[in-house]
Amino acid sequence: MTIAGIDDPSDLAGLSEAEAARRRAQFGANELPAPRRRRLAAIVLETMREPLFLLMFGAAVLYLALGDLGEGAFLVAAAAASVALVIGQEARTERALAALRELAQPQVRVIRDGEVAVRPSRDLVPEDIVLVGEGDRVPADGLLVAGDILSLDESALTGESAPVVKRLAEAGQAFEPDVEPLWDSTPHVFCGTLVVRGQGVMKVAHTGGRTALGRIGASLSAIAQEPTPLQKSAERLVALLGGVALAFCLVIALAYGALRGDWVEGVLYGVTAAIALVPEEFPMVLAVFMALGAWRLARERVLVRRSAVIEALGSATVLCADKTGTLTQNRMEVVRLWREGAEISLDDAAQAGAPGARDLLWLGALASAVRPVDPMDSAIRARAAAPPEGAPTDRDPERTWPLQPGLLAMTQLWRLPDGGRLAAAKGAPEAIIGLCRMAPHEADEVMAAVGRLAVAGLRVLAVASHRTTLDFPDRPEEVAFAFAGLIGFLDPLRADVPAAVAEARGAGLRVVMITGDHPATALAIARAAGLDTGGGGLDGAELSTLPFPTLREKLREVNVFARVAPEQKLLIVEALKADGEVVAMTGDGVNDAPALEAAHIGIAMGGRGVDVAREAADLVLLDDAFPSIVAGVRAGRRIFANLRRALIYVAAIHVPIAGLALAPILIGVPPILYPMHVVLLELAIDPMCALAFEGEPGEADAMRRPPRPADESLFGLRQLGLALAQGASVLGCALGLYLWALSAGPEAQARGAAFIALVVGNLALAFTDSAARGGSLFAWHRLAYGLVAALALLALTAGLLLPGLQAMFRMALPDAGLLGAAVGGAIVSGAWTRLLRGRAPSRRQGGDSAL
């Protein structure tokens, strides 16, 4: 046989792996240009526009102008360190994103050495033979050489949304380089376009930058990393407070100079207060937590496409999951047949070898894809014996009618050796009964058999055929088919699903199963998985007749939905949302995209899911496994809780810094803090302590508490109140020590005692705040914090003991009694919340605690 576009049928064997490797070395990887990273100069300029940098630079200029070279050099070094910190954070984030882009690499089905293999799309080379189907992105430029006539959406290249029809290439036809997208009735297909109907085989012509998409420099596969709403809010807050701080600096300088006559001291005082007021750590902490949070979720086999979803994971209340491949293994095996009133067990060799069984499986194979992707098609073809005498000899059918919403059956038309035609159909039993125009009593007998097989947990398809010597009509429904029998498939439940479902239910996450299977099959699998089946099941036919208010009521009890069409998933999502639920929805097909977009958290299948579903989703499961979703929820709750604690800490420590900067001017005592003190805290100690929060494990009972309310903000009034209380306690300790020491001794010792109390209180606050409820304060994973604390205490000790640093920081080592009071008071002022946390009952609402 001659296949369109292939001179020799053996060409469908594809390239050998050795030849593919040689071509890859010649032509390079099939990749579009990666998103360009920000240049170093751009990062530096952006950092120099930040309020904190401007204030530090201004203070450094002032010190240098006054001849205080040590203070000026310190602030210049601090300004340089702020730039280095941003560059380091950018590099760390970029590494995390690069790892995610690697995981997000699209997969394609390519024929190598005569076998269908799944490979990353970057491995494609010219002359590769690739299978494409509905919902796939075309991975390279090439020719359609076999299969159906395809309908493609080429809007990614042209902006025109109208689908374009592509025909098969003629024998010997080559790819024409001057052909442009939007040309109808050509066999040319282009990288980045979307298959909206049909399935076929393409022969690759151009890859990577030589494709039409590569020439215009587009990149559809890059993971978009837009700032989340929380990050945007934090940036606006920092910008606003930066403006306020600059104005405050001016007011304090003028007031201090006018009241005390010391304008230089007034400017330094104003700069100190302004630096203390700017919460510069907020955006950095958020950016790092989001990037590393996405990386941590990827380690749980969950790829984050939109960072904002990390904030939503902890509040999900309903998880709508597909049965096939998510709860089950998606490893279909034909185990039982039904034909002419009798069941046939394929475990029995005698029954399996009977002519009736062989004929039924053979007809099922003719109704299945020649190069199967669907696991049921693969299972039928694996079981089908050698074709009987008189069977079709062609490699491909003359015509294929795929499943349609109005007819849930696939039909393929074959040419017989005697010149006749054979149409083989398989699909939902109800659809095949309709094609066969069966009498009611015959249909009842078939459906009773379907029910018996479904109760056993089998998925059931019916098979029928139609032979003719005439031309076959345009629609299979126009002729009567002959019923052949039923095929029962076993798709075993994943072994780890029951435990994962139990964990999800324990976390207050209701699990809903949606499937196209028979209701009895769906309920049997749901019970085995541990879902709540007390409300029974609801099928698609009943679903479509219910008024929306009634559907909302039904959804409060029903957790199993069967015979559901993909477009009905959107209706289920909308009804759950209208009832106040926070919905996570899984999907893998083209028609699942609207439901994935509508859900609060859209979850696409990375293995079997089509490209359009992955693009509509917020998360992609790299292994298509339900336990990965639950692991993602667990990781999401951990990330959210750690980020909340880090933000509480950052806000809390700004209270004593700002208070110590402002209090002296209000009570008429010498300044406690100068710019060097504040810069040391805000640029070195605070950010490192905040980032130590990221590595903390989740709370032990995080998955035994209900989801947090959807309207509960990450950093709300409760967290702000806690931060103010914690900060006020450290402020009271440091300010009280300063006033007491100032009345009894030198100013430098009083300042030293206050700074000791501030630094130790800061470290105590970070130490206790970062530990999860019920977690150990001295676990091995806290070594990062220990290193930060050791460096901070080393810097503090150097500032108190080295004469040069003593002069620069204007402080001295206090006597033993004052030193003990400073350290002891700071520990108590920073750690008192740990005592309350140990005594307070665990919150039963919200998934994580403010403490």
The residues with which 464 forms a beta bridge, in sequence order, are 425, 483
Which of these, 194, 190, 272, 286, lies nearest to 231 by C-alpha position? 286
DSSP codes joined into one string, 568-606? HHHHHHHHHHHTT--EEEEE-SGGGHHHHHHSSEEEEET
Q: Tell me which DSSP letter residue 563 carries.
A: S
First to last CA, the chain: 73
Residue 227: phi and psi, rounded to 5, are -60, 140
11 residue type, one letter? D
**Residue at token pair 């097909």:** 589
Residue 429 CB contacts under 8 Å (≥ 6 apart), including other chains? 446, 447, 450, 460, 461, 462, 486, 518
Which of these, 454, 453, 456, 434, lies nearest to 443 by C-alpha position? 434
DSSP codes joined into one string, 730-763? HHHHHHHHHHHHHHHS-HHHHHHHHHHHHHHHHH
Q: For residues 99 and 303, what is the distance between their CA atoms, to the nearest angstrom? A: 10
Pair 487, 428: CB distance under 8 Å: no
Of 141, 153, 322, 686, the catalytic one is: 322
List the Cα angle 232/237/241 in 5-degree steps: 150
Q: For residues 367 and 375, what is the distance between their CA atoms, to the nearest angstrom? A: 14
Pair 70, 78: CB distance under 8 Å: no
82 residue type, one letter? S
Number of H helices, E strands in the chain: 30, 24
| Radius of gyration in angstroms for the set of CA atoms belonging to the chain, rounded to a whole number | 34
474 has catalytic annotation = no
**Residue at token pair 């003359």:** 398
| b/e per residue 444-473 (b: at least 16 CB within 10 A) | eebbebbbbbbeebbbbbbbbbbeeeeebe
**Residue at token pair 């009943």:** 542
**Residue at token pair 């979720």:** 297
Q: If DSSP codes are grouped into helix, strand and coil, which group holds residue 821?
A: helix
Residue 143 CB contacts under 8 Å (≥ 6 apart), including other chains? 5, 169, 173, 174, 175, 187, 188, 189, 202, 203, 205
Please state the length of the chain: 851
Which regions of 314-408 does DSSP assign to beta strands (E)? Answer: 318-322, 333-339, 342-345, 399-401
Structure-token pair, residue 82:
């702020």
Total Cβ atoms within 10 A of residue 237: 14
Please list the active-site residues. Answer: 322
